[in-house]
């Protein structure tokens, strides 16, 4: 392996880790193994701290391929709690409002999910990494500032209802770059004349890379010790 020339690694991002923390950990182990102070390492698509699953990490010259991977189709398994909302649309913030769910049936959920398949407009969450005048939306939202975000066009290829157990549902979503599953949860709740927020999220696929192809971050150091590593002197 030659980490300076470029390697592509697949990880299962741990719960509560930021994407940045995963990159830092991988960079630390590679730098230590190579005996260098610095090496380029980047990820091809952010996952929220409360999400787990497929994360593609590129090193060295392979970081030029990050954009290419970002455009690959992604698949998620999402757990939604119906009848309640949070300001972040997930468990980062406490429930701020509750809504009726008595009118919701499995048939209504399945019919509603179909409305989201295809090209849709989605307003990103205020608690997101979107930039407004050079500032991250989540920094403004956490200060209590107004966060005016414009709707973005994206594509949902598939939505499948996996489990229906009110107030919880579990869905599989196949979608394009730029899709916020938290915002999708918000919109599904509204479309059901109720509310919803995300209580669990796993990214199960990016392009052809599946979760079963991914390594645990905690296993990386031991894995690295077993590799034949080529060192490029510059």
Question: Could you read off the pLDDT of 64-114 as tens digits, one per residue?
Answer: 999 999 999 999 999 999 999 999 999 999 999 999 999 999 999 999 999
pLDDT at 94: 96
The pLDDT tens digits of the residues spanning 155-177 come to: 999 999 999 999 999 999 999 99
pLDDT at 143: 77
pLDDT at 126: 79
Give the tokens for residue 126: 């205020």
Q: Active-site positions?
A: 48
Q: What is the mean pLDDT of residues 214-228?
A: 95
The pLDDT tens digits of the residues spanning 119-135 come to: 999 998 877 777 777 78
Q: Render 96-139 in DSSP notation, one character per residue.
A: -EE---TT--HHHHHHHHHTTSEEEEEPPPSSSS-EETTEEHHH
Burial of 88 (0-12, 13-18, 19+ CB in 10 A): buried
pLDDT at 174: 98
- Triad 12, 15, 18: Cα angle to 5°: 85
Q: What is the mean pLDDT of residues 211-221?
A: 97
* Residue in the block written with tokens 């048939």: 107
Q: What is the mean pLDDT of residues 38-47?
A: 94
* Sign of the alpha-carbon torsion through 87, 47, 143, 125: negative
Distance CA 230, CA 33 (A): 11
CB of 32 closer than 8 Å to CB of 182:
no
Mean pLDDT of all residues belonging to the chain: 93
H/E stretch holding 188: helix 181-191
Across-strand partners of 24? none
pLDDT at 233: 63
* Residue in the block written with tokens 């392979």: 62
Distance CA 141, CA 132 (A): 11
Distance CA 110, CA 170 (A): 12
Model pTM score? 0.92
DSSP 73: -
For the cut 60, the answer to whether the pLDDT of residue 234 exceeds it is: no
First to last CA, the chain: 16
pLDDT at 145: 74
To the nearest whole percent, how much of the chain has pLDDT over 90? 82
Give the pLDDT band of residue 26 (cuts 50, 70, 90): very high
């Amino acid at each position: 392996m030659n980490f300076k020339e470029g390697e592509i690694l697949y990880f299962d991002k741990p719960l509560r880790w930021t994407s940045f923390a995963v990159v830092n950990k991988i960079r630390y182990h590679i730098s230590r193994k190579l005996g260098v102070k610095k090496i380029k390492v980047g990820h091809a698509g952010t996952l929220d701290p409360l999400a787990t699953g497929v994360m593609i990490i590129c090193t060295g010259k392979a970081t030029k391929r990050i954009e290419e991977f970002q455009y690959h189709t992604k698949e998620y398994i999402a757990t939604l709690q119906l009848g309640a909302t949070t300001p972040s649309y997930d468990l980062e913030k406490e429930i701020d409002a509750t809504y009726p769910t008595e009118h919701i049936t499995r048939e209504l959920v399945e019919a509603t999910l179909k409305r989201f398949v295809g090209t849709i407009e989605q307003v990103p969450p205020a608690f997101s990494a979107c930039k407004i005048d050079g500032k991250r939306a989540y920094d403004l939202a956490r200060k209590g500032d107004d966060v005016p975000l414009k709707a973005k066009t994206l594509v949902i290829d598939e939505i499948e209802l996996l489990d229906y157990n009110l107030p919880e549902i579990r869905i599989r979503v196949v979608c394009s770059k730029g899709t916020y599953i938290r915002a999708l949860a918000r919109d599904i709740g509204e479309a059901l004349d109720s509310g919803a927020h995300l209580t669990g999220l796993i990214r199960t696929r990016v392009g052809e890379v599946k979760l079963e192809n991914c390594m645990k971050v905690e296993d990386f150091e031991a894995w690295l010790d077993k590799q034949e590593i080529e060192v490029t002197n510059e």
